[in-house]
């Protein structure tokens, strides 16, 4: 036994040939069209519409969505590779196109066939964007703390509440919205009583509020979403009612591999900048890569990046195989990869010296982008809690509640 896993073969990473073919196509797009626009996006905070449309034409919005709903197919590995390659140049671009996954996953997994046909197909085609509205002023990592309410009135549900830090809300046509439909029976079952709804943003009472001026991810900052007596038909409920907490948590288990991949891409981009600079910059008559203070940093950077990439691809492989261990691996990958990205970006700045903190050189932006990955999609402290809970579950056979 390879505790906490059962078989050493669980550590196998499987990457089909078509994934590498796809990666090369994405890399070509990134180098030819996305990377040249990186600093423009950083300065303006806007991703050009033509770049978004190009990504749609290349099928990026359909990755991970079954072909029967007009998607490109593929699973967690393909999605991770796409996010990594895009984030190497512009992390916000990867977020802008792939945040749809936080909407499509719960609908595909828990929705009716009618819901899938109506809402997944246009998202896969790039005809509509979607977002995931769950975070509230008092409920971020504490999903059970959601205060938005949904009250049944006749054949409809009426939702009232306020959501914050909702990525992609400004261009979303559809939202998945979490709301409390029943009070929890006791403190140990705080999770019970939440329900997830599909909401269209042009319905009366839905207001996309102001944009949050957060650090990092320039071009894809989140918005506030206000729900004022929004009427939702019964057919837009993701079943089962009152057990939406499970839907949300499973969605995040799936989505955090994308954040790990994004962090790997950020780290790779920062490393490449630092490595190239170390070959071009001379000091005391030598290229600075000749000094151990620089070369050792570069060695540590690439070692950490490859470890983060392997951990991320491994978690994605387990998820594609439908193994329970994927939850465990995803939390570890998200924690490790995002903290690697932060360290690597920091070292890249130091290798650049004074020009590293000059915004015009485009180096310090990697650190700002990296830090946000350690926070969203579940803070790294929450990932550590998930990891230890999974460890105790496998060791003791019970799901221990960590307080």
CB 288 within 8 A of CB 282: yes
Q: Determine whether 272 is an active site residue.
A: no
CA distances (Å), origin 219, targets 49, 193, 305, 369, 401 = 11, 36, 25, 11, 39
Which one from 85, 220, 339, 377 is the annotated catalytic residue? 377
CB 268 within 8 A of CB 300: no
Please give the helix or strand (H or E) that residue 360 lies within, else none.
Answer: none
- Separation CA 297–CA 274 (nearest Å): 10
- Separation CA 139–CA 134 (nearest Å): 8
Please give the helix or strand (H or E) that residue 156 lies within, else none.
Answer: strand 156-166
CA distances (Å), origin 326, targets 224, 319, 321, 330, 340 = 32, 5, 9, 6, 20
> 10 Å Cβ neighbour count for 202?
8
Burial state string for 295-309 with b = 16 or more CB within 10 A and e = fewer than 16: eebbeebbebbeebb
CB 132 within 8 A of CB 73: no
Please state the three-class secondary structure of 53-112 as a single string: HHHHHCCHHHECCCHHHCCCECCHHHHHHHHHHHHCCCHHHHHHHHCCHHHHHHHHHHCC
Residues annotated as catalytic (active site), given as ranges:
377
């Amino acid at each position: 036994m390879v505790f906490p896993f059962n078989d050493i073969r669980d550590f196998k990473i499987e990457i089909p040939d078509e994934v590498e073919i796809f990666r090369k196509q994405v890399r070509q797009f990134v180098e030819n069209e996305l990377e040249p626009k990186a600093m423009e996006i950083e300065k303006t905070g806007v991703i050009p519409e033509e770049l978004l449309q190009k990504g749609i034409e290349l099928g990026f919005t359909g990755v991970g969505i079954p072909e029967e709903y007009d998607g490109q197919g593929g699973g967690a590995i393909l999605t991770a590779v796409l996010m990594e390659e895009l984030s190497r140049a512009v992390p916000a671009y990867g977020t802008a196109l792939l945040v749809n996954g936080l909407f499509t996953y719960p609908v595909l997994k828990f929705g009716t066939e009618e819901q899938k046909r109506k809402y997944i197909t246009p998202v896969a085609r790039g005809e509509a964007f979607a977002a995931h509205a769950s975070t509230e002023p008092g409920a971020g990592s504490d999903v059970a703390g959601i205060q938005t309410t949904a009250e049944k009135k006749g054949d409809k549900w009426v939702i009232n509440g306020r959501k914050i830090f909702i990525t992609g809300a400004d261009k979303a046509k559809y939202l998945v919205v979490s709301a409390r439909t029943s009070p929890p029976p006791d403190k140990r079952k705080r999770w019970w009583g939440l329900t997830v709804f599909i909401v269209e943003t042009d319905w009366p009472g839905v207001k996309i509020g102001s944009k949050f001026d957060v650090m990092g991810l320039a071009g894809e900052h989140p918005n506030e979403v206000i729900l004022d007596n929004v009427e939702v038909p019964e057919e837009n409920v993701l079943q089962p009612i009152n057990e939406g907490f499970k839907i949300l948590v499973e969605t995040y288990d799936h989505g955090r591999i994308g954040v790990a991949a994004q962090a790997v891409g950020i780290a790779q981009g920062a490393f490449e900048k630092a490595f190239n600079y170390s070959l071009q910059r001379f000091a005391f008559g030598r290229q600075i890569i000749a000094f151990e203070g620089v070369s050792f940093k570069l060695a540590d950077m690439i070692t950490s990046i490859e470890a983060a990439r392997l951990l991320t691809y491994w978690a994605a492989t387990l998820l594609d195989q439908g193994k329970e261990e994927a939850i465990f691996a995803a939390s570890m990958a998200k924690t490790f990869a995002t903290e690697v990205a932060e360290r690597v970006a920091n070292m890249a700045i130091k290798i650049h010296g004074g020009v590293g903190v000059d915004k015009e050189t485009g180096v310090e932006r990697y650190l700002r982008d990296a830090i946000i990955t350690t926070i969203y999609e579940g803070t790294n402290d929450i990932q550590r809690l998930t990891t230890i809970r999974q460890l105790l579950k496998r060791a003791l056979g019970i799901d221990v509640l960590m307080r």
